[in-house]
A and B are shown apart, each in its own frame.
Chain A
Amino acid sequence: MGEAREPMHREVGESGMKEARVLIVDDSAVMRKIVERALRQAGLDPLLVHEAGSGTEGLEVLGTCVVDLILSDINMPSMDGLEFVRRIRAQKLACGVPVVMITTESSEEHVKQAIEAGARGYIRKPFTPEQVKERVLPLLGLL
């Protein structure tokens, strides 16, 4: 648990960039697709997306897959996004992988709670691909 497992092969895009591996956690399948679309529009190519419909599913994915970035909603049933981030850190899953919250909750208190839980960034819904680019690419060392 928590050990890095490099896949045998990672695709390389035309730009020479290695494939970015992203986990998107949101109870809405529609929102997961919208976030994926925004990541591609932000220039993440090639992109491999893992999806999870809950914090619990997200932890299961992280137990078997290596990712470079995690994007998570906050308001989700059974395990909210803040608890999900706390458990990632507590269980030492995805060590060093940045987590960005994507959520309708916009208060300073929510941002503070997210950072304290271990998130490295925060994007408020509704969002533009440009906002996603500004928040996400620097965390991947791409901007």
Chain B
Amino acid sequence: MALSLRESLHLVCDPGNLDAAVEEVFQLMVGVRCLRHAGPPESEAEPESVTAMVGFAGLLSGACVFKSGRAAALQIAARLTGMEFDAIDDTVKDALGEICNMLAGTWKGSIPDLAAHCGLSIPAVVTGRDYHLRVLASEFKLHHCYRFEDARFAVIILCDGLK
């Protein structure tokens, strides 16, 4: 019988798995405890933002997206690397790409069928102002905002195909 993820849909859509992935990655690699945040992911006064994406392919097709404003991006990169940054340079982008990579892998690994039957792409990072992400024909979307200290960010799991 062919493997289907639809029988594990409740696990795939469980927001607790995403919360747990964020907690693990940020606790172990950034050294901070993140809490869910009810407000928008980045300050209204911060037009520049960073978006990192890792694709999923296999039983689930879609992407894991990490998005934050400039200030949060610099804080996260600084804590991850032990360096200081005053601009979103290639090292900051690399750092956030790796954060997104680990979030995607940890979330995927929490769902048994997905762990073995869904691959990850290499991270892509986009920086800029006033851009929006639009996903067509979405099967489901998990979109949570988190914060630690005064830094806020969003993590989104997008699924446009489920076998």
Contact = CB atoms under 8 A, between A and B. Distances in A.
A30 interface: yes
Contacts of A108: 116
A33 B91 CA distance: 11
A27 B121 CA distance: 12
Contacts of A33: 81
Contact of A106 (B29, B115, B119): B115
B102 A125 contact: yes
B98 interface: yes
Tell me the interface secondary structure of chain B in the complex: helix
A124 B119 CA distance: 15
Nearest to B91: A30
B81 A30 contact: yes
Given A28-B97, A107-B116, A127-B28, A34 B80 contact: yes
Nearest to B90: A29
Tell me the interface secondary structure of chain A in the complex: loop
Contact of A34 (B29, B106, B115, B121): B29
B101 A107 contact: no
Given A29-B91, A30-B81, A75 B116 contact: no
Interface string B126-149: 000000000000000000000000
Nearest to A109: B116
Given A104-B105, A126-B29, 18 more contacts: A28-B94, A28-B97, A30-B77, A30-B80, A30-B95, A34-B81, A75-B121, A77-B122, A104-B101, A104-B102, A105-B105, A106-B105, A107-B116, A108-B116, A109-B116, A110-B116, A124-B105, A125-B102
The 9 A-B residue pairs with the shortest CB-CB distance in the complex, in nearest-first order: A104-B105, A107-B116, A107-B115, A106-B109, A126-B28, A30-B94, A109-B116, A126-B29, A30-B95
